[in-house]
Every structure is written in C-alpha cells, then in structure tokens.
Structure 1
Amino acid sequence: MSYSLSTRTVTRRIRRGLAATALALLAAAAKALGYRLLRIRDRGALGVADGAIPYRTTVFDDSVAGVANLDPALLAALRQAATDAAREGVAFYVNSGWRSPEYQRQLRRETVAEYGSEEAASRWVSTPETSLHVAGRAVDIGPPPSAAWLSRNGAAYGLCQIYRNEPWHYELRPEAIVHGPPPMYANPSEDPRTRRKRS
C-alpha cells in the first residue's frame, strides 16, 4: 500500500512539474512574440466585464465586453476582414479590445513593474486617459498568422497596424482603403494621441 501511495505522489509531482514547465514555456513564447500575459494574482476583481478576453474569443462574440464595446465601425471592418480571411483558412481571435480604465490602469502598473519606469512602459501600454483601447478604437488580433494576414490585407478594410513594435495592434483608418496605410510609429510613446497632456 505504501508503494502505491508513493507512486501516486511521484506521479502528481511529475504532473505538476510538467504543468509548471509548460506554463513557463508558454509565457516565454508569448513574450518572444510580443504578447503580454496578465498575472492572475495581480488582477483582483477585474475580469471580462472590464475587458479581459477569454481564450479564443472571435470578433463575432458580442457576449464579451472587450468585443461588444469596440467602436461599431472598427468592429464592422474587423468582421468583414475576418469573414474574408476565413475563406483562406485564417481565423481571427481577439487578444485584447475595449478595456475599462481600471483594467488599463492595471496593465500600466504591471508594465511599469516589468520594465522599471513609466517611460519604458509607455512604449507598450498607454495610460487610461490616452489609451485607444479604453476608447474602443483599437484591437489586438492573434494568433500571429492572423495579424500577418491583416498586415498584408488590412488596408483594403481600413484596418492598419499603427506601431512597428506591436504587429497585433490594429486601428480603423478608412482613408487607407484609397491611400494605403499611414506611416507607422515605432511604438505608442511616439504617437501624439497617446502622450500624456502636460499641465
């Protein structure tokens, strides 16, 4: 009997170790691709109602606030692009869309902690007052092949990558349908729309 208990204990430890290793590898891969994973222990009461996006949420999922609260014109363009991409076997998933100010504030705090300063954090996450996600005018699309499809075809729908360091971040620029996408900023800190207003 003690032998089987010991075997179960060893099996559990191996499973836990494998799960921890898998999570570490997933986090490293996500970071390498530029995706940020929220630390669940830091989230507090924030969740889907604040803009957190459940795994494999599509641009058609109106039951998720992060999708439903997007600007209607942006959402219509995304849905048309997603419908056309699906004909080529490409599925769009929303990694982030609309966010509440509280959710954005939390992302900003986490990014400051990760990168060590407000200035460094501003290259990745805007303040709630300047965030285009809080305004519902920006969406992060994944997985990478979907973002790549949008990079090639998005301008035809008015969907444009705005920041060179964020190939997943798209905004609606209707003029791109005729004139092509606008020049990209290196990162959000160079975008005049996301800079803090000085008083």
Structure 2
Amino acid sequence: MLRNKIMAALLVLPALVIAGCSGATALADDPDHDPAQGGIPEDVTLTPFDTDYPAVGNLDPDLRNALQKAATDARQYKVDIRIASGWRTKEYQRKLLEGGIEKYGSLEKARKYVNTPEESTHVSGKAVDVAPTRADDWLNRHGEKYGLCQVYANEMWHFELLTTPGGKCPPTRANAAG
C-alpha cells in the first residue's frame, strides 16, 4: 500500500511542475509520457525486452541483460516483471525533483524520494523501477541470483546491478538521500 502511494506520487510529480500550462503544451512538455526523455506513455506497458523505448533501450546493457534473465525465470512462477521507470534524461530527473520539492515542501524532504540529476542512477541507465508489487517482491527474494539488488529501504521497486550473479547484495540504504 505504501509502495503504491509513493509510486503514484512519483509518477504525478512532473504534472505538478507543469500545472497551469495549456493542455497541448502540457502534453508536449511532460517528460513522464515522452519516450525520448525516458518517459512511458500512459497506454504502454514495458517489459525488460522493450528495447525500442529509451527507458529500456538506454539502460546499462548488463543491467538490462540481468533484468531479461530474471523476467524470463519469473514467468515460470506466473510473475510478470514490468518496467515502471528506467533510463531518464537529466531534464526529466530535474522535473521530478522540482515536483518533489513542491510536493514535500523542501529539497531535504524531497531527496528522500527523488535524487538529483547529477546523482540519479536512472540518468546513467544503472537503475530501474519495477512493477507490479508482485514483481518487486519476487526480485527482492531472487534478485541476487541475477546480481539485482534493492537499493533503498523506502523503495522496494528500485533495483540496480550491485553484485555479481549469485553474490550478496549490500544492505539497503534508508532512502535516496542516504
């Protein structure tokens, strides 16, 4: 439940930033739905195999390969791994952070949920947010087999390639701020 509320908040942050714009301008400037910036259109569901979309195609090749292997294995257990967010441009990340500041009231509070463009591993293609919750749970239990690790305790959906396949994941950090 908390994961869904946090994900929903993160997904609407860009809309908060562009509030007040005309509808046509808002859609054109909304990186949340602009594939070129790493956004995912509302009517699209991405898997780790949808490399035509920059959110997946611009992921680090080793991370993408590990996700594809995990997704293939997860299907045997009727678990579908979807990509909620992957690679993003610095501009998209900046808009997410600005929206977080507006929502939470300060940079310090927003940083618990949104990293800066300079520090975001999404911008470098080294992080992916996975959905739905069942997939997050499956990866949290089996991700080490692929080198995939949950990074932040408050984001069960955020994974990075932090160990060798079969290795031990490092302890989670409290949040994106540390």
Q: Same fold (TM over 0.5)?
A: yes
8 A contact 1:30–1:37 mirrored in 2: no
Aligned partner letter, 2:37: D
Mapped partners of 1:105, 1:150: distance in 2: 28
Deviation at 1:31, TM superposition (A): 1.4
Consecutive unaligned residues in structure 2, runs of 5 or more = 19-25
**CA RMSD across the alignment:** 2.0
Deviation at 1:177, TM superposition (A): 1.9
Deviation at 1:56, TM superposition (A): 1.4
- Percent of aligned pairs sharing the same letter: 43
Deviation at 1:40, TM superposition (A): 4.0
Instruction: Work out which of the two has the higher radius of gyration on C-alpha atoms and give 1 or 2.
Output: 1
SS class of match (1:140): strand
Deviates more, 1:82-91 or 1:36-45: 36-45
Aligned pair partner of 1:52 in 39, 52, 56: 39
8 A contact 1:111–1:121 mirrored in 2: yes
The normalised TM-score by structure 1 is 0.76
Mapped partners of 2:157, 2:132: distance in 1: 8
8 A contact 2:74–2:80 mirrored in 1: yes
Indicate how the Cα distance of structure 1 residues 157 and 31 shifts in structure 2: closer, same or farther if over 3 A, else same.
same
Pair 1:37 & 2:26 matched: no
Mapped partners of 1:88, 1:141: distance in 2: 17
Deviation readout 1:53-74 (Å, 9 max, x if unpaired): 2331111001110000000000
8 A contact 1:176–1:182 mirrored in 2: no
Mapped partners of 1:114, 1:30: distance in 2: 16
The answer to which structure, 1 or 2, has the higher relative contact order (CA under 8 A, 6+ apart) is 2
Mapped partners of 1:112, 1:100: distance in 2: 19
Indicate how the Cα distance of structure 1 residues 88 and 187 shifts in structure 2: closer, same or farther if over 3 A, else same.
same
Indicate how the Cα distance of structure 1 residues 35 and 149 shifts in structure 2: closer, same or farther if over 3 A, else same.
farther
Indicate how the Cα distance of structure 1 residues 158 and 35 shifts in structure 2: closer, same or farther if over 3 A, else same.
farther
Pair 1:184 & 2:158 matched: no
8 A contact 2:146–2:164 mirrored in 1: no
Deviation at 1:45, TM superposition (A): 4.9
Deviation readout 1:155-199 (Å, 9 max, x if unpaired): 110000010000000000233623x21111010111xxxxxxxxx
Mapped partners of 1:98, 1:145: distance in 2: 22
The normalised TM-score by structure 2 is 0.84
Aligned residues: 162
8 A contact 2:163–2:169 mirrored in 1: no
SS class of match (2:160): strand
